[in-house]
Structure 1
Amino acid sequence: MMLSFFDQFLSPSFLGISLMTLALILPWILFPTPSNRWLNNRLLTLQNWSINRFTQQLFMPLNQEGHKWALILCSLMMFLITLNSLGLLPYTFTPTTQLALNMGLAVPFWLATVITGLRNRPTIVIGHILPEATPGPLILVLIIIETASLLIRPLALGVRLTANLTAGHLLIQLISTATFVLLPMMTTVASLTLILLYLLSLLEVAVAMIQAYVFVLLLSLYLQENI
């Protein structure tokens, strides 16, 4: 029995064993396996078209050096979409509602972009901390502000993804609970809340895809500054 609405975000476990690893690995089964046939089925064709369009839009503003990141960023995009959408199925768990997991994805990728910039363009990357022709009294203040804005980027990535998915799941839980409570008393109102629940579920599917895209898009913007 669910004692709190936030119980749905607890890490899944069975006999005291955490199932987080299983929750991360299992969604990959949902991807169709490519074949060696000349003609693919509709699902494979749609998947390949989506990946190609995403790759074109994501790497259009990047130079040739940034195109080396295409495989890892596209894989991250598909991985996040699958994890975000997994929680919309009955009796499932959304791993990306855990801030620790999102920070575990955000910090290494952000750090990789920073290290890449320090290795390839150290002068320009460090120059972002202190803009040219800065007045003397503002030098220390700007250094502190720019350093804080640089260090807060991974936190913003992880918190944004966690907050959006958590808020959507909580809203769905609240409206579904209200629908079951109102059904025996006010059928008309329960029907309206059921329609609202259906529309909200469609919106949550869109949010799951958009938030994965925003996560990877921001990483590509950070990469653009360092290559």
Structure 2
Amino acid sequence: MNLSFFDQFMSPCLMGIPLILLSMLFPALLLPSPNNRWLPNRLSTLQLWLLLTITKQLMTPLNKKGHKWAMILTSLMMMLLMINLLGLLPYTFTPTTQLSMNMALAFPLWLATLLTGLRHQPSVSLGHLLPEGTPTPLIPALILIETTSLLIRPLALGVRLTANLTAGHLLIQLISTATMALLPLLPTVSVLTATVLLLLTILEIAVAMIQAYVFVLLLSLYLQENI
């Protein structure tokens, strides 16, 4: 029974072929494609408003050089948002519960922000490793600490997203199992547990949206330091 709780995090395969790429591309099919009409339908209007709000929120702290990243960050935000939300449906798979996938997203983007800073303003980027006014005896220790904190950023991005989604999915499955087990024995307690399950599901929907936003927001903050 304990092992079955973690079966939901196993990558689905068909005839030995991993389907994780298909599960990542499927959410994009649910988004309405834009058209040339002046008055699109309500769904397209809602989509455009959401994209505009997300892009404005992400690009406000950045200068004009950082606006080149608008398409990448907004697309990443929408992809993570759709994957996280669709992963809450029954009989689905959430690719963002895989640490390998999250690290594959976090590390290249973090490295791109770092290389952008080293290319355009190397002195400012390297200056973040040593705060101004540091006493001379503390310089080696602070450089080591700041370098470690810089290198651990992509790991923190990937682990944060993985841990939050994995914990939420496990709690939902544990409480749902308890609800079904208590139904023939203690119906009243089972109803209370089902109420807790409903509240936890609403919380997990909020967590799925917040974690997608936090992932992209932190990348934009890293970009802000290097442009």
Q: TM over 0.5: same fold?
A: yes
Question: Is 1:72 paired with 2:72?
Answer: yes
Q: How many residues matched?
A: 227
What residue identity is the alignment partner of 2:111?
L
What are the equivalent positions in structure 2 for 1:46-195 lying under 5 Å apart? Answer: 46-195=46-195
Unaligned runs of 5+ in 2: none
CA drift of 1:40 comes to: 1.5
Q: CA separation of 1:3/1:136 partners in 2, compared to 1, >3 Å: closer, same or farther?
A: closer
CA drift of 1:44 comes to: 1.1
CA distance in 1, matches of 2:2, 2:131: 53
Question: Is 1:30 paired with 2:30?
Answer: yes
What residue identity is the alignment partner of 1:85?
L
CA distance in 2, matches of 1:17, 1:63: 44
CA drift of 1:102 comes to: 0.1
CA drift of 1:2 comes to: 8.3
Question: Is 1:201 paired with 2:201?
Answer: yes
* Identical-residue share of aligned pairs (%): 69
Question: Is 1:21 paired with 2:35?
Answer: no
What residue identity is the alignment partner of 1:187?
P
What residue identity is the alignment partner of 1:65?
K
CA drift of 1:86 comes to: 1.9
CA distance in 2, matches of 1:96, 1:13: 16
What are the equivalent positions in structure 2 for 1:4-19 lying under 5 Å apart? Answer: 4-19=4-19
CA distance in 2, matches of 1:105, 1:154: 9
Question: Is 1:214 paired with 2:224?
Answer: no
CA distance in 1, matches of 2:33, 2:59: 25
CA drift of 1:3 comes to: 4.1
SS at match of 1:4: helix
Q: Between 30-39 and 1-10, report the one with greater CA deviation.
A: 1-10
TM-score of the superposition, structure 2-length normalised? 0.96
CA drift of 1:7 comes to: 1.3
Q: CA separation of 1:91/1:26 partners in 2, compared to 1, >3 Å: closer, same or farther?
A: same
CA drift of 1:71 comes to: 0.7
CA distance in 1, matches of 2:192, 2:42: 35
CA drift of 1:205 comes to: 1.1
What residue identity is the alignment partner of 1:96?
T
CA distance in 2, matches of 1:2, 1:49: 44
CA drift of 1:33 comes to: 1.5
What residue identity is the alignment partner of 1:33?
S
